[in-house]
Amino acid sequence: MSDLSAYGLNCTLKGGPAESSTQKMLDQVLHAIAGHGARTASDRAVDHDIKPGVRSDEGVGDAWPMLRQRVLASDIFVLATPIWLGQPSSVCKRVLERMDAFLGETDDRSRYPSYGRVAAVCVVGNEDGAHHVCAELYQALADVGFTIPAAGAVYWVGEAMHSTDYKDLDKTPDKVASTIAMLASNATHLAGLLKQRTYPGVG
Amino acid sequence: MSDLSAYGLNCTLKGGPAESSTQKMLDQVLHAIAGHGARTASDRAVDHDIKPGVRSDEGVGDAWPMLRQRVLASDIFVLATPIWLGQPSSVCKRVLERMDAFLGETDDRSRYPSYGRVAAVCVVGNEDGAHHVCAELYQALADVGFTIPAAGAVYWVGEAMHSTDYKDLDKTPDKVASTIAMLASNATHLAGLLKQRTYPGVG
Amino acid sequence: MSDLSAYGLNCTLKGGPAESSTQKMLDQVLHAIAGHGARTASDRAVDHDIKPGVRSDEGVGDAWPMLRQRVLASDIFVLATPIWLGQPSSVCKRVLERMDAFLGETDDRSRYPSYGRVAAVCVVGNEDGAHHVCAELYQALADVGFTIPAAGAVYWVGEAMHSTDYKDLDKTPDKVASTIAMLASNATHLAGLLKQRTYPGVG
Amino acid sequence: MSDLSAYGLNCTLKGGPAESSTQKMLDQVLHAIAGHGARTASDRAVDHDIKPGVRSDEGVGDAWPMLRQRVLASDIFVLATPIWLGQPSSVCKRVLERMDAFLGETDDRSRYPSYGRVAAVCVVGNEDGAHHVCAELYQALADVGFTIPAAGAVYWVGEAMHSTDYKDLDKTPDKVASTIAMLASNATHLAGLLKQRTYPGVG
């Protein structure tokens, strides 16, 4: 499986080079995936001008066509988002909206361009919201054609109504570290299987 | 406003008299509401045989008609639920389903029997899910005719993937205590306004 | 109550003057609210440069401070969004994120600047997602201090996996029309009560 | 792949033999899966006494141990639910809660008993809620160890605020039929891959 590749999109609201808790966890996930022999890369979505809309190209100045190409060139897509008000960030929602166009881009076996690719989710907040963010991301990612591996997410939040940041933790909590290890193992295993034999589609 | 009343339903999965973190927080909320002069009472839903269905009376042995009467006899309804898998409990879902019948029980001004009543939400989990549970409960409660006060919920969860129980905390966290105080103030204020002048309806 | 005002934000992905189903329904809601004597106005959020972030002012070129002022100058806030992938639009999420700052802007009675204001929700999609969008919007709006009236939303979606637009319907469905009438009645009634006697807060 | 098996749980609120729209769609999905050579079976959950709780066996009279065995004996698990108030049924929530126990039942490679099994979702409502129900089911199913195939759900809902039942449609809508065909193809393909080479786990 040494020819697998993984691509991460960090959907923080903070433009680079501001420190980002979400980037910290995304980097940890990509590092673990690299440990299984995959090439990895990532972008910070807010640094690119992703236009509002639901087409694959929204015209002059739209950064999505380039990011879309990076998503589809990879076997594993890691979507990473902070939590605001218990929900995914607006930047993350923008990315999901732009993938809605996959539904109109089927091949002659009715498969979306995302078929055969695995999606994993990475969620970071201060105090609450990780399960719901996973739910929304899983649903949107599955709807647009990605496959979700067993235990396909890793998250961290602190105690209710507290404001500690993941980036400021002295040490990665053991449960987070072991979840990252399992996620990387599951995602690369499943991506390897699907790369060898993708969905046949219908038609 | 000394004639206000509040009724709480604890939707824990644990039958009485087992200790319940959800009951602990519900009792704190009802105590705070009582501090504004309202009468209060509560039940543990799982101790009653609420039949599956979406009618106000599902026949022989159905405990819902009695609980429904308690809900509608009160000015403030406090729905309290634990979090499982980041979501409200099945017992809480059962209660919400049974209130779906309100939609077919309008008066000559097209008002549901719940109109003019205020709903508040109380959510307790180990580590995550409170915002989403609030979202689902607010939506279901507003759909069936309740009014949601400003900041109409209180919740507690611990750090991600940890398993501390609210009932085992030595001390109620300050933020939880101040949120309960505000919730009680807002709910009783709004219930008092609506009791004096309820929604006029249309028709 | 003739001095009430309502402000609507249309969170369509389409910039003006493109026709918008969401605007059509928002206009219907605001018209019904005006029928109760309130002044009304609205903006299309995507036509304004709302910067990513969670502060009330994100600096040079940020349109949010102006929109924020319009929200807080009104007694009723109508948040209108299309549905994409079963979820609120990224533009709507951006608006909600910016209101997160209210939580840090309390007065000496611990009240957010939004206290005493009523929020209503307006949701338009092709085929599915309205209840969930209402859930997310109710939760976020209640979290940041708005009050949700009984039956505080109106929505329209068509049959599963179909693509009819609300703007292309020959006639507003009767159920949508009666729901708009009830929403306008409830929202103005509640806003009137709270304008006369707002939440006292605690402290 | 002729030795694959699929098991469906219908989470309608209606006990047998009452006609169930959810059963109709579940039967269609299982029929399509059988067309790929898999053995299929299903149960109606509400006909069994699934006790409240989060352990794999809640004691005398608990029907879950038997249903749990059927879930884990199959390669594909199809969870089918009606929509009430835009949300999964209380019966469906009960089933999900009982699978929470998988998290404590890991093998020496930290794998849940569900690892290597594929889950698909089937959702039927009158008018709205399918995407959100999918989101909650995907998240819960992935959390407890199932793998979600590309486009792993089929649903039907009618126009907003209407009350047509899926069981009363003269003809299965073309989009529903083609979605069922794709779901069956994807689920059996993925289950076949994982049956040959399941997740290796970590440790």
How far apart are alpha carbons D13 and C201 in whole angstroms?
A: 43
Identify which of B46, B85, B94 has the shortest CB distance to residue D100.
Answer: B85
Report helix, strand or coil for A156: strand
**Touching partners of D (3+ C-beta pairs < 8 Å):** A, B, C
User: Quick one: D172 exposed, middle or buried, by C-beta within 10 A (0-12, 13-18, 19+)?
Assistant: middle
Q: Does residue A203 belong to any structural domain of this protein?
A: no
Question: Apex CA C88: angle with CA A140 and CA A21, to 5°?
Answer: 70
Closest chain D CA to residue C178: D161
Identify which of C136, C151, C199 has the shortest CB distance to residue B135.
Answer: C136
- Is D122 in contact with D12 (CB distance < 8 Å)? no
Tokens of C140: 């976020």
Residues with Cβ within 8 Å of residue C17, at least 6 apart in sequence: none
- Is B86 in contact with B134 (CB distance < 8 Å)? no
**Touching partners of A (3+ C-beta pairs < 8 Å):** B, C, D
pLDDT of residue C151: 87
pLDDT tens-digit series, residues B96-149:
999 999 999 999 999 999 999 999 999 999 999 999 999 999 999 999 999 999
For residue A173, the chain B residues in CB contact (below 8 A) are: 159-161
- On the question of pLDDT at A5 being above 90, the answer is yes
- Is A9 in contact with A95 (CB distance < 8 Å)? yes
DSSP letter for A16, please: T
Residues with Cβ within 8 Å of residue C156, at least 6 apart in sequence: C25, C123, C124, C125, C130, C166, C173, C176, D160
For residue A129, the chain D residues in CB contact (below 8 A) are: none
**CATH number of the domain to which D77 belongs:** 3.40.50.360
For residue C200, the chain B residues in CB contact (below 8 A) are: 185, 189
Could you tell me which of D125, D195, D197 has the C-alpha nearest to residue D166? D125
How far apart are alpha carbons D74 and D42 in whole angstroms?
A: 11
Closest chain B CA to residue A161: B175
Residues of C with CB under 8 A from a CB of D: 85-87, 127-132, 134-135, 155-162, 173, 175-176, 179
- Is C182 in contact with B110 (CB distance < 8 Å)? yes
Q: Would you place residue A29 in the very low, low, confident or very high pLDDT band (cuts 50, 70, 90)? A: very high
- On the question of pLDDT at A120 being above 80, the answer is yes
- Report CB contact under 8 Å: B194, C199: no
C-alpha C68: how far from its chain's center?
A: 12
For residue C93, the chain A residues in CB contact (below 8 A) are: 87-90, 93
How far apart are alpha carbons B163 and B157 in whole angstroms?
A: 9
- On the question of pLDDT at B199 being above 70, the answer is yes
Q: Would you place residue C115 in the very low, low, confident or very high pLDDT band (cuts 50, 70, 90)? A: very high
For residue D162, the chain C residues in CB contact (below 8 A) are: 175
How far apart are alpha carbons D30 and D12 in whole angstroms?
A: 17
Distance from CA of A11 to the nearest CA of C (A): 11
Q: Does residue D148 belong to any structural domain of this protein?
A: yes
Give the residues of chain D that fall short of pLDDT 70. Answer: 1-2
- On the question of pLDDT at A160 being above 80, the answer is yes
Closest chain D CA to residue C134: D86
The total of structural domains in chain D comes to: 1
Q: Does residue C203 belong to any structural domain of this protein?
A: no
Residue B87: phi, psi to the nearest 5?
-130, 165
Residues B102, B106, B111, B114: is their CA dihedral positive or negative?
Answer: negative
Average pLDDT over residues C106-125: 98
Identify which of C15, C84, C140 has the shortest CB distance to residue A85.
Answer: C140
Question: Apex CA D58: angle with CA D19 and CA D62, to 5°?
Answer: 35
Distance from CA of B98 to the nearest CA of A (A): 24
pLDDT tens-digit series, residues C132-188:
999 999 999 999 999 999 989 999 999 999 999 999 999 999 999 999 999 999 999
Q: Write down the ipTM of this complex.
A: 0.96
Among B114, B138, B141, pick the best mutation site for testing chain C contact (most C Cβ within 10 A): B138
Distance from CA of C90 to the nearest CA of A (A): 5
- Report CB contact under 8 Å: D139, A131: yes
- Is D100 in contact with D107 (CB distance < 8 Å)? no
Residues of D with CB under 8 A from a CB of C: 85-87, 127-132, 134-135, 155-162, 173, 175-176, 179
Q: List residues bridging with B7 in a β-sheet.
A: B41, B77
Question: Using N-to-C axis directions, what is the helix angle for C174-196 and B174-196, rounded to 10°?
Answer: 110
- Report CB contact under 8 Å: D115, A150: yes
Q: Would you place residue C2 in the very low, low, confident or very high pLDDT band (cuts 50, 70, 90)? A: low
Could you tell me which of C79, C112, C108 has the C-alpha nearest to residue C6? C79
- Report CB contact under 8 Å: D140, B86: yes
pLDDT of residue B2: 58
pLDDT of residue A189: 98
- Report CB contact under 8 Å: A143, D131: yes
**pLDDT, chain A, mean:** 97
Identify which of A85, A86, A157 has the shortest CB distance to residue B160.
Answer: A157
pLDDT of residue A170: 95
Residues D13, B9, A128, A175: is their CA dihedral positive or negative?
Answer: negative
DSSP letter for D108, please: T
pLDDT of residue C203: 87
Q: What is the DSSP string of D160-185?
A: TT----GGG-SS--HHHHHHHHHHHH
Residues with Cβ within 8 Å of residue A188, at least 6 apart in sequence: A1, A4, A33, A36, A37, A38, A76
Q: What is the DSSP string of A42-73?
A: EEEGGGS---SSSSS--STT--HHHHHHHHHT
Question: Using N-to-C axis directions, what is the helix angle for D90-99 and B90-99, rounded to 10°?
Answer: 180
**pLDDT, chain C, mean:** 97
How far apart are alpha carbons A40 and A77 in whole angstroms?
A: 10
Average pLDDT over residues C80-109: 98
How far apart are alpha carbons B154 and B180 in whole angstroms?
A: 6
Q: pTM of the prediction? A: 0.97
What's the Cα-to-Cα distance from A139 to each of A84, B47, B138, rounded to whole Å? 19, 35, 22
- Report CB contact under 8 Å: C135, B131: no
Beta strands B76-84; B87-88: pairing state: antiparallel
Closest chain B CA to residue D144: B85
- Other C-beta atoms lying within 10 Å of the C-beta of residue B27: 17
Q: Does residue A201 belong to any structural domain of this protein?
A: no
Q: Does residue D202 belong to any structural domain of this protein?
A: no
Tokens of B184: 């009680």
Q: Does residue A131 belong to any structural domain of this protein?
A: yes
pLDDT tens-digit series, residues B59-94:
999 999 999 999 999 999 999 999 999 999 999 999
**pLDDT, chain B, mean:** 97
Closest chain D CA to residue B161: D103
- On the question of pLDDT at A105 being above 70, the answer is yes
Residues with Cβ within 8 Å of residue D165, at least 6 apart in sequence: D21, D126
Range of the domain at A138: 5-196
Beta strands D76-84; D87-88: pairing state: antiparallel
Q: What is the DSSP string of C42-88?
A: EEEGGGS---SSSSS--STT--HHHHHHHHHT-SEEEEEEEEETTEE
DSSP letter for B15, please: P
Residues with Cβ within 8 Å of residue D115, at least 6 apart in sequence: A150, D145, D198, D199, D201
Q: Does residue C27 belong to any structural domain of this protein?
A: yes
What element of type H or E holds B44? strand B39-44
Q: Does residue D167 belong to any structural domain of this protein?
A: yes
